[in-house]
Chain A
């Protein structure tokens, strides 16, 4: 029989023995060591500052992914993650959106403020976070955006998300939107598609 059976493995001796050791390892030049350190830093709120600091200097995708996954499990990380929506680094912005979508409880507390941010890019990215909420809740938030939003790109993002997960309450607000953007006929097309998707109309 060429197949062999080995004894069960014992826990790896390479695991950092304390949060302090893990923090030291996060400065290692070896991305494998940094990734392992991130995964063993601990799951308490005290880990958030170290993880955020590591995230800002980390360039390895696999280490970044480990950091975002660790942060998404920590409710205290929601606000620091939301701050990354202003980052110039697209990887950080998108990682933050995915992490916040994975933590709907903490994220929903931040969303009203983010959706009213003075920066249109932050409002647009925050609408993507709302996609991760239950349909009724997301619909209410995004309808609020549509009622007050002046940036057409933010509106288009909200329309697209409503087309996917919106409830029928969104339809009257959607129908009123093209009048506010007469110079952007694409809004009317997008609204038609979204309304049909939501109501199930065939044509």
Chain B
């Protein structure tokens, strides 16, 4: 999920006062972790004005009052400020952190016979788990020395089908260097690209709802979980449940990578915060830490 660019037609003139803007930004931050500063004032105002009109509200105060008591309206609002879209090498600072730091720490406590387990959840249409695979093949010098399992999971079966098909638009590949596109993809006649069969065969996809303990229960001993930009959609209780489920899926000492606007510290006390040069990640305590 990312903040959408202000590309909508002009909205009718609905004014948002300074204190309303600040109050709204505080509110949105508390609910979603998304931060808007004064630099995004015009964008926030336009989205708010659109939402006020769409909700049939009389103005900011009316909409704001509804946000506090109507979960549906809050969902609409969050949707208005976000776009569900993903692409290859998105938030690649975490991939850099994976190969510069995390894998060294993980392999230091493993035997060679033990696989490294990486989980992308939710994985949407597969861009993230395939990005992890490509990144490792291209950037981790020890990639041939270890068995590496990459799993992509999502609640949406249609997204999983697309992930298994591995066919992507040019837009999905916009962040991938062209040599990597040539190396790992085949151009189709309709302008899209199909990912290499070997890569498709190396990533396992499965349906999982991360707030369902029955779904997450079978998954254990993950070394790194990429769980980006989904917890912000949940209420406090669901976030807390998800954090507990993910904790149980991790190996001792394993890591969780959240989206850059998310903070596990606001969700659960179960994890340690690790500040690395490339990224902040959250770690399950190792053996001898808490359970």
A interface residue numbers (CB < 8 A to B): 1-6, 8-12, 15, 31-32, 34-36, 39, 60-63, 65-66, 69, 72-73, 101-103, 132, 134-136, 164, 199-202
Contact = CB atoms under 8 A, between A and B. Distances in A.
Contact of B291 (A5, A32, A69, A202): A32
Contacts of A4: 115, 147-149, 202
Contacts, number: 103
A72 B269 contact: no
Interface in B11-70: 17-20, 22-23, 26, 65, 68-69
A63 B270 CA distance: 10
Interface residues of B, number: 47
Contacts of A12: 217-218, 220
B93 interface: no
Contact of B237 (A2, A31, A73, A134): A73
15 contacts: A2-B137, A3-B133, A8-B204, A8-B218, A9-B220, A10-B218, A31-B290, A31-B291, A34-B291, A63-B291, A66-B244, A102-B237, A136-B65, A200-B17, A200-B18
B290 A60 contact: yes
B231 interface: no
Interface string B110-142: 000001000000000000000001001100000
A200 B201 CA distance: 57
Interface of B: 17-20, 22-23, 26, 65, 68-69, 115, 133, 136-137, 143-150, 198-199, 201-204, 206, 213, 217-220, 236-237, 240-241, 244, 247-248, 268-270, 285, 290-291
Contacts of A15: 217
A39 B213 contact: yes
A65 B206 CA distance: 28
A62 B68 CA distance: 31
A200 B20 contact: yes
A202 B20 CA distance: 12
Contacts of A101: 236
A31 B247 CA distance: 14
Contacts of A1: 198-199, 201-202
B20 A62 contact: no
A39 B202 contact: no
Given A12-B217, A103-B237, A134-B69, A2 B147 contact: yes
B208 to A, nearest CB: 10
Which of B115, B136, B291 has the largest count of A CB atoms less than 10 A from its CB?
Answer: B291
Given A9-B218, A11-B218, A72-B237, A62 B136 contact: no
